[in-house]
Chains A and B, each alone.
Chain A
Amino acid sequence: MIIDIFGMALQAMKSYKIRTFLTLLGVVIGVASVIMVTTAGGSVSSFVAEQFNVFNPIGMVIGTGTGGDTPQLSMRSVVFTDNDVEKIQNLPSIKTVAPVGIVPLNKILKRDGFLKWESRPGETMYASTPELLKIFNLELEEGTLFEEGKNEVVISKNVAEIFGTDKPLQVGDTIYLRRVDGRTLEAKVVGILKESSTSNLLGAMANPGVICPIKPYYSTYFGSNAGTVLKRVVAYTILLAEATDTKHVQDAQDQILEYLDSGGSDASQYKDQNTDFVVITQQYILVRIEQVVSVIRVYITAIALISLLIGAIGIANIMYATVTERTREIGTMMAIGAKRRDILQLFLFQSTIIGLLGGILGCILGAAGSWFVVDLLNRSVQNLGGVIAGGSIQTIYAPEWFLIASIVGILIGMAAGILPARRAAKMDPVEALRYE
């Protein structure tokens, strides 16, 4: 019996194909947009989370520049001394500190045969300790780390191929590094880095091409004329540091700034009056990105839910119209023995079928739509270039949302249909039969 009424509902829907289709469309678009937004949102969120894995979440860059809400490094002043490195190392929330001396190179040279030389333009060279690799999240593909005081360097994959991809530099090769001051220093390649993305420190610093020990490659001094005696101290542009864990990044940052800004640090004496100390953390930027993503997500989900609501109103509207239009039919059915419950079911089935079908079709359309949205996002992510650590956003479908969307479709169909169906069921048969 209930099956027969279900059949009658289907039959009626088939008879009003365009009306059914248009009503369905409202639900389909609503459900599809919810699926699309949640899937795209989830995909972007997990992409951002992946960025955490590429970047070093506890890493930070200490330098001079302009402070404030969006701190900028200038990398111009050479201010940090070994004494500062030691003091910062002893701060409670700091795990490691690595000084970075930037060694501008004019040329990288290689002996070709006995007398011939091959020469290439210089690369970024960082003089530091092996800790730098850890803070940059860099790994060796082959070879070993350099030793302090020895003429040894670790080079990137790019630099290894500087003399041609057909004859890349090997571990054990000797190269010559010509500094901008004219001195040429011999260096043995002891390690080659794994290929890495543009910047592991989220754009704060470029990834190094050559990493060398401080001795014998770095000899930038800060000269201060104390009376007639020239005091010479080795000083660095940048310090890299790691907090003890992700929870203490903020603490570490505060402690470093407190130390540097106090008169006790060497850097505070050497620093230009017009510049600030700047500590750039990775977490700060990533947390901000996640905040923005989640705000956008909530916002778009709200819009999607509104379109779902409009779909529901569409069902209610069309059901009212249908009930009014079929008033005499309702009267007739009552006259030939239909109970109020039968009439209620007949119309409730129609709206529920529309809701269910809309839910299912919406899921399918939403799945396809999500794929397109993620594809579109990937295109714009690629345009961002260096800011992103690489990789692409994967479309991650949340199965529970498909279930939720289908159930919501049915519920919306029922909720939107209940009032019109009740109106039909409550009709006075005499009045209904008289309806023209």
Chain B
Amino acid sequence: MKDYVINIDSLTKTYRSGKTSFKALNSVNLKIKKGDFIAIMGPSGSGKSTLMHIIGCLDRPTSGTIIIDGENISTVSDNQLAQIRGRKIGFIFQKFNLIPTMNALKNIELPMVFLGGTKADRNQRAAELLGKVGLTNWATHRPSELSGGQQQRIAIARALSNNPSIILADEPTGNLDTKTGEQIMKLLVSLSKEGKTILLVTHAIALKRYANRVVNMLDGKISEKK
């Protein structure tokens, strides 16, 4: 059990609107090992986004348990959930979601700000990560001055800033051209080799090849086949 970085057991998420209810997740069981690169695939409405939100501690399940890195997140408070998010999860979004009023370096620093690191430590770490994604010379540029690929690399650096164990990437290449998308995917693969657990949520079948495990979702249920 301890080997699993994510351990999901009979997870159910029900959305209610008025008298009708809709099961977005229906008794999902999923165990993910440290360093796995998992592609969660499925059509829209299949529940893959809901699953990602719950794994990302943005949402809570209706029933079932989910243990992330040893912590049962079904029962914690909003504040604790925010802290777990900050410490253990790195998010990468389709639209990059950088803060437009902050430069590249500040964007990378932001998750550390919310965890309360010292300014010197933050600066050093952010500069280091900026080097890792190959954008050292772009530190003071705002997102609007960067290309899509550059913005996504800044977003990856930001996702890494608190050294999380899990990276959640939601259609990370959706807004990029094929070549740039490939570079981003290679960057994610290299992170997985460094021991990060990567969850890639996508419906682009072409991205399957980067993953070492593929989870298919349909109507709130999981079916696995390589």
A interface list, Cβ under 8 A from B: 1, 4-5, 8, 11-12, 14-15, 328-329, 331-342, 429-430, 433
Residues of chain B from 78 to 132 with CB closer than 8 A to chain A in the complex:
78-79, 82-83, 85-87, 89-91, 93, 97, 99-102, 106, 110-111, 113-116, 119
> Given A337-B111, A338-B114, A342-B114, A15–B82 Cβ distance below 8 Å?
no
Q: Are B56 and A333 in contact (CB under 8 A)?
A: no
List 6 tightest A-B contacts by C-beta distance, closest first: A337-B86, A337-B114, A15-B101, A332-B97, A336-B111, A339-B82
B97 surroundings in chain A (CB, below 8 A) = 328-329, 331-332, 335, 433
> Given A1-B113, A328-B97, A332-B97, A340–B79 Cβ distance below 8 Å?
yes
Interface size class for chain B? 20 to 34
Q: Are B83 and A337 in contact (CB under 8 A)?
A: yes
Task: Tell me, in angstroms, the Cα distance from A338 to B83 when the chains sit together.
Answer: 8
> Given A4-B113, A332-B93, A337–B99 Cβ distance below 8 Å?
no
Interface flags for B145-164 (1: CB within 8 Å of A; 0: not) read: 00000000000001100100
A90 to chain B minimum Cβ distance, whole angstroms, is 86
Q: Are B87 and A337 in contact (CB under 8 A)?
A: yes
* A–B complex contacts, Cβ < 8 Å, 26 sampled: A1-B113, A1-B116, A11-B102, A11-B106, A14-B101, A329-B100, A332-B91, A333-B99, A333-B114, A334-B82, A334-B85, A335-B89, A336-B90, A336-B158, A337-B87, A337-B115, A338-B82, A338-B86, A339-B78, A339-B83, A339-B114, A340-B78, A340-B82, A341-B79, A430-B59, A433-B58
Task: Tell me, in angstroms, the Cα distance from A273 to B59 when the chains sit together.
Answer: 98
B53 within 8 A of A: yes
B82 surroundings in chain A (CB, below 8 A) = 334, 337-340
Where chain B touches its partner, the secondary structure class is: helix
A331 surroundings in chain B (CB, below 8 A) = 97
Q: What residue of chain A has the Cβ atom nearest to residue B86's Cβ?
A: A337
Q: Which of A12, A329, A340, A430 contacts B58 (CB 8 A)?
A: A430
A13 to chain B minimum Cβ distance, whole angstroms, is 9
Task: Tell me, in angstroms, the Cα distance from A14 to B102 when the chains sit together.
Answer: 11
A72 to chain B minimum Cβ distance, whole angstroms, is 72
Residues of chain B from 179 to 214 with CB closer than 8 A to chain A in the complex:
none
> Given A340-B79, A340-B82, A335–B58 Cβ distance below 8 Å?
yes
A349 to chain B minimum Cβ distance, whole angstroms, is 14
Task: Tell me, in angstroms, the Cα distance from A109 to B93 when the chains sit together.
Answer: 106
Q: Which of B58, B79, B111, B162 contacts A429 (CB 8 A)?
A: B58
Q: Are B114 and A329 in contact (CB under 8 A)?
A: no
B69 to chain A minimum Cβ distance, whole angstroms, is 15
B53 surroundings in chain A (CB, below 8 A) = 430
Q: Are B85 and A335 in contact (CB under 8 A)?
A: yes
Q: What residue of chain A has the Cβ atom nearest to residue B168's Cβ?
A: A335
> Given A11-B101, A340-B79, A334–B116 Cβ distance below 8 Å?
no
Q: Are B101 and A335 in contact (CB under 8 A)?
A: no
> Given A1-B113, A4-B113, A336–B79 Cβ distance below 8 Å?
no
Q: What residue of chain B has the Cβ atom nearest to residue A11's Cβ?
A: B101
Task: Tell me, in angstroms, the Cα distance from A8 to B113 when the chains sit together.
Answer: 10
B78 surroundings in chain A (CB, below 8 A) = 339-340
Task: Tell me, in angstroms, the Cα distance from A12 to B102 when the chains sit together.
Answer: 8
Task: Given A12-B101, A334-B82, A338-B82, output 18 extra A-B contacts at Cβ < 8 Å.
Answer: A11-B102, A11-B106, A15-B100, A329-B100, A331-B97, A333-B99, A335-B56, A335-B58, A335-B89, A335-B97, A336-B85, A336-B86, A337-B114, A337-B115, A340-B79, A340-B82, A429-B58, A433-B58
A235 to chain B minimum Cβ distance, whole angstroms, is 90
B119 surroundings in chain A (CB, below 8 A) = 4
A336 surroundings in chain B (CB, below 8 A) = 85-86, 90-91, 110-111, 114, 158-159
Task: Tell me, in angstroms, the Cα distance from A430 to B60 when the chains sit together.
Answer: 11
